[in-house]
Amino acid sequence: MSETSTSVPSAINCQVPHFRAAMTGEREFDLANYAGRKIVLYFYPKDNTPGCTAESMAFRDLHDQFVAKNTVIFGISRDSLKSHEGFKTKLGLPFELITDPDEQLCNLFNVIKMKNMYGKKVRGIERSTFVIDESGMLVKEWRGVKVPDHAQAVLDSVS
């Protein structure tokens, strides 16, 4: 990943710093390429886990409705591109997945948290979703997301 500012979007209606990152489809995500469209970025902990699978399938199932609202969707986790490609194929995801193994995007959006896993404290991604408007402004965020009905709530928020 390159050209990433170290600033964290800290408030709604703030400009999201320009960033680029590797994503599935042998492509590179570049924030500037999506000017004029709304962007949904959903951060999730790990490919092929129950909650992340359910969340990705929910976004998949609503994809056409997001497209009708001039909105593109991207999933982001620390998994490798190889893992992402397999996950995307397995679930038939019609959108790309961004890899963030060095946590630059996770830090940019402040989604790394200490979590309890089987009684141990571990650093992990707090399931979070962000909507960026056509001009690159952060207009909505959800943190500590619970998967049921979340994708629908995100869809309802984009007009």
Catalytic member of 23, 39, 40, 52: 52
pLDDT digits (tens, 9 = 90+) for 108-144: 999 999 887 788 888 899 999 999 999 999 999 999 9
Residue 1 vs residues 18, 36, 98, 143, 147: alpha-carbon distances, Å: 11, 23, 10, 24, 28
Domains along the chain with CATH numbers? 14-157 (3.40.30.10)
Q: What pTM did the predictor assign?
A: 0.91
pLDDT digits (tens, 9 = 90+) for 38-75: 999 999 999 999 999 999 999 999 999 999 999 999 99
**Catalytic residue list contains 52:** yes
Question: Tell me, what amino acid is at 4?
Answer: T
pLDDT reported for residue 6: 44
pLDDT digits (tens, 9 = 90+) for 67-109: 999 999 999 999 999 999 999 999 999 999 999 999 999 999 9
